[in-house]
Amino acid sequence: TVYFGANDGMLHAVNAATGEERFAIVPTTVFPTLKDIADPLSPHHFYVDGDIALSNKTLFGNSVLVAALGRGGKAVFAVDVTDASNPKILWEYTDTELGLVLGRPLIAKTNESSTWAAIFGNGINSTSDRSQLYALNLNSGALLARIDTKVGSSNGMFAPRGWDDDGNGTLDYVYAGDRLGNLWKFDFKGTSASGWKTALGSVASPTPMFTAKDSASNLQPITAGLTVALNPRRGSPSYGSKWVFFGTGQF
């Protein structure tokens, strides 16, 4: 099955072999402007405009799709698509500190009783305009953690990437960038979500692991996804060391 969002206000599921539509879902957050599609004089609206993540059925047991509305609204939602012909809407999450979530959510097993979570940056245009990271229970949509970097002024956090540091199948660290050029490292090693935090600095004064600037010290937004990898070259002085790769820019 191929899943995609569209500016008709729907998340679509299409049979990859035949091209037939299996289902279409309209998130409730886009309802208020849905009527404008029929109005030729209405300004353009974005609807289901965000990225999509899908859980690994072998690891999780079910296939759960998590999608953001992107520029279409301040919401993230999840659908159980284990049986793509009989989807089950699990939850739709909104919050005042949630902005327009841009970038693919991360789905991972955490150290809190092996709970699976949907993890995403809060995006742009939130109420406080600070960059923040969300972690929700994948099945219920209940808030597990909201980690506030306290860095604001037209800021927002983008697509996170995770890392299993001890190789036991659970998430230990999360990396994400924000609009003010900060690369953040989050510590998810705790067995209770209440202990998840930025890895550097303190809860009261979080510190990024890197801030991207140009030669004139202008901050460079980190709005796209990251890649985390190990140096595989034997004989290299940094063999086995962990690297975070990212680009900068915005449009």
Query: What whole-number distance in Å separates Cα of residue 85 and Cα of residue 21?
Result: 9
Mean pLDDT of 105-117: 96
**227, 131, 221, 123: which is closest to 175 by C-alpha?**
227
Say if residue 20's pLDDT is above 90: yes
Does residue 58 register a pLDDT over 90?
A: no
Count other Cβ atoms within 10 Å, centred on residue 124.
23
Instruction: Supply the mean pLDDT for the chain.
Output: 96
Residue pointed to by tokens 């919401």: 75
Reported confidence tier of residue 9, pLDDT bands at 50, 70, 90 = very high
Nearest by Cα to 90 from 59, 66, 108, 119: 66
Would you state the pLDDT for residue 60?
86
Over the stretch 198-218, which tens digit does the pLDDT of each residue have?
A: 999 999 999 999 999 999 999
CB atoms within 10 A of CB 67: 27
* Count of alpha carbons within 13 angstroms of residue 235, beta-carbon side: 0
